[in-house]
Amino acid sequence: MSEVTSPVRAEETGVESGSGGATLLEMRGIERRFPGVHALKNVMLQVTAGEVHALVGENGAGKSTLMAVASGALAPNEGTVHIGGVLLAEASPEAARELGLGIVRQDPALLPDLTVAENMAVGVGYERVGGIRRAPAWARNELHSWGVAIDPTARVADLPVEHRFIVEIAKALALEPKVLILDEPTEHLNADLVERLFDRVRELAAQGTAVVYISHRIPEVQRISDRLTVLRDGAIRGTFDAGSVTEDEIVELVVGRALEAVFPPKGSAVGSVGSVDRLVVTGLESASFTGIDLAVKSGEIIGIAGVQGNGQTELIRALAGIGPSAGSVSVEDRVVRRGSNVAAARAGIAYVPADRHGEGVFLPLSVGTNIVAQTLSSVSRAGVVSDVRSARVAQDRIAKLGIKTPSARTPIASLSGGNQQKVVLARTLLAEPRVVLAEEPTQGVDAGARVEIYQILRDAADAGAAVVILSSDGVELEGLCDRVLIMSRGQLVKELVADEVTEAGIARAALTATTSRIEVVGKPRRRRNPRVAKWLRGDQSPAAVLALVIAALALAVGASNAAYFSAFNVANLLFLVAPLILVGSAQLVTVLGGGFDLSVGPLMGFLVVVGSFWIIDGGNLWLGLGLVLLGALGVGFLNGFLASRFQISPIVVTLATYMGLQGAFLALRPTPGGLISSGLTQVVTMKIGVIPVVFIGAVAIALLLEWCVRRTRWGVELRGYGSRADAAERLGIPIRRVQLCSYVLSSLLVLPAALIMMAQVGIGDGGPSLAYTLSSVTVLVLAGASIFGGRGSFFGIVIAAVLVQQVINAMPFFGLSQAWSYLLPGLITVGAAVFYAQLRRVRS
């Protein structure tokens, strides 16, 4: 075809539109440059009402970048975007959404620590769903037509990958958009869900929606699209009627050359398969599969296939030591300990995961670092990594595998999916594995990169490795594998060899299997109530555990000394708990938003000292309260502004504030002074029965915050930002404002804690406040909050604060020295951290 050797721009093809409808998406002269990369070059694209317009190209061709510009997630260096005839005036996902554009991204813009309903509400707008409270019912209705049981109140992090993509697609379709962009929407969907998606796409097109469909699967493109545009090296190479070009012609346009051979010769055909079994599996079983016996010789590539959900994924992950299993796995007659990925790696088993971003690469690191990460010992001396040696090794692999990257120092996050996959394979082969386990190795990869990946896997086999591939692509299995094993209901039901290994044969064997699932014999597993299991995964379950500890400790202390339950001791305990609840809540507010605030303790001291000049008998109480309020607001704004505006680490910002505030209150009062107002002391020490009013107030504030983070837009956006900042930004959440507000609110919560301390200390002394920074962290950890953001409970903060103060309060009753009041909370904190880490591991 002439377009391969002489590129033709879309406007030169003579194809005006696919349906004759109005132009709903128009991109004019789009230019986009990144450091060292000219990603988009004068791109022109028109998509009309009622047409499905496919966009095809290699990984790195610029497709996702172009759609990021169209959706407002990325600003072009030059050019304009019109949606529904209206100019997209600024690069804003929310503005694009308001103009009627919906997008399903290749990497779903989902916030993992939020529920399905919350994600969908953020994605389509709160007004459309009727508010956060009505979101679960609305989401359940939107997901019903997919025929998949997805709980709208479940966290996205707890969903399997295919369900996350359904949520992303349903979220986009719920917008009823004028323009719908689908970026590799079928990569994680089974055949039935693909058909449902196609039906929905056709319905939308019939209703006048303009659909942009991006896929590497050429047969899908030909089935669903009216027109297709080819993008190569950032430039449009032509726009065609989908029915006017063949699959081979499309591939040639995409790659820019004819692909002489898609699959390399099989080892069984050329005689390179060894005679010795390198991988031997006997009697392997788990909750998802049973009775697995197989053997793979060196130089052999075998495939695992079957209808999705029949145990294939669990099997290959169990072989890699990631999933649980029982039975025997041997590599070269060496038995491998099950359930340990470290033991599997030491035995020479290398695993290439399907979830490239989540498990395959270290996104913040460079291409070179990712390549040598598994073999650091070979580029190190005495434990010190040699940059020169690492760069040499990485550059050699980049050249051998044809990885398209400006340099080895380029962040891997900036590479296309296919090139990221080649980096994963480069790292895998650098370890010279005896066994390679590849799960969906070409998922989301273009035709040209697929050919290269097939050759890489064949080279690994020719080097002596036993290669096991799990793939849902029958053509891929047919062209690459020496044998294919079919799984059904957790069992290997058929082996295809030689001429039996065909796409049709694989499909027939998978669809006609008649086996019944065999229950694993052994100790019966206790069936857990789904509601109980869900609650255990939630944010409130740690509070229940802590409450039991509190009750047990109270009974133990009370049994040894009846004075523990006296009205005086109970009132004193709860009074001291109140400021701890407030500073713990302040810490949690910032942590939910992915931050941290080390300045809460010194801020308390600073406010106490400032107040001690005016909040005194005969002083100006209101002026003092006003200055204390301004001080809290100022510190919160400073912390939030520096962290959000300049993207400085919150630890660095608040540590600097910590030292600055400590210096400030010492400068104001080198020695304690200024008697606090007796009127303030009387108000703060008021009680209702034996319960201090300040304790009631602190609990009320914590519970109000708990309601706000679950039921208000502010709370959802705060948790969303802390859960995954990049996705939150793509969804249009004002991340700088959210982060700034979290620090201001944190400082405001410290204010009432400072007033309580004034009454408690009775004098302008900031020293006692410093311990509250570490105490707030202790409470945070005990409450089970994630220090990485997105998860936590203010109710848990209340219970954890009671426990911490109870431990300190109990020391004298046991006759223990003051040293134990520091040592025991520290031990409890470490124990809680270990417990929650193990709990998260079990949950995952």
How would DSSP label each residue in 168-227?
A: HHHHHHHT--SEEEEESTTTT--HHHHHHHHHHHHHHHHTT-EEEEE-S-HHHHHHH-SE
> Strand 86-87 and strand 101-104: pairing?
unpaired
Structure confidence by residue, pLDDT tens digits, 114-141? 999 999 999 888 888 888 889 999 999 9
Query: Could you tell me the two tokens for 612?
Result: 């001690």
| Cβ-Cβ contacts under 8 Å for 782 (sequence gap 6 or more) | 542, 546, 796, 800, 803, 804, 828, 829, 832
Query: Could you tell me the two tokens for 632?
Result: 């809290």
* pLDDT of the residue at 514: 53
* pLDDT of the residue at 115: 94
| Cβ-Cβ contacts under 8 Å for 350 (sequence gap 6 or more) | 374, 428, 429, 431, 433, 435, 436, 437
Let me know: does 836 contact 542? Beta carbons within 8 Å.
Answer: yes
Calpha distance 554→809 (Å, rounded): 10
Q: How far apart are the first and last CA of the chain?
A: 51
Q: For 81, how many CA atoms within 13 A lie in the half-sphere containing its CB?
A: 27
Spell out a b/e string for 548-559, using b for 16 or more CB atoms within 10 Å of the CB, else e: ebbeebbeebee
Helix (H) or strand (E) segment spanning residue 48: strand 37-48
Q: Name the maximum alpha-carbon separation found in the chain.
A: 99
Residue type, 338: R
DSSP 20: S
DSSP string, 252-294: HHHHSS--S-SSPPPHHHHT---SSEEEEEEEEE-SS---EEE
* pLDDT of the residue at 27: 96
Ranges of the chain whose pLDDT falls below 70:
1-20, 36, 59, 255-261, 307-309, 446, 511-530, 532-533, 536, 837-844
Helix (H) or strand (E) segment spanning residue 44: strand 37-48
* pLDDT of the residue at 523: 44
Alpha carbon 597 to chain centroid, angstroms: 23
Helix (H) or strand (E) segment spanning residue 139: helix 135-144
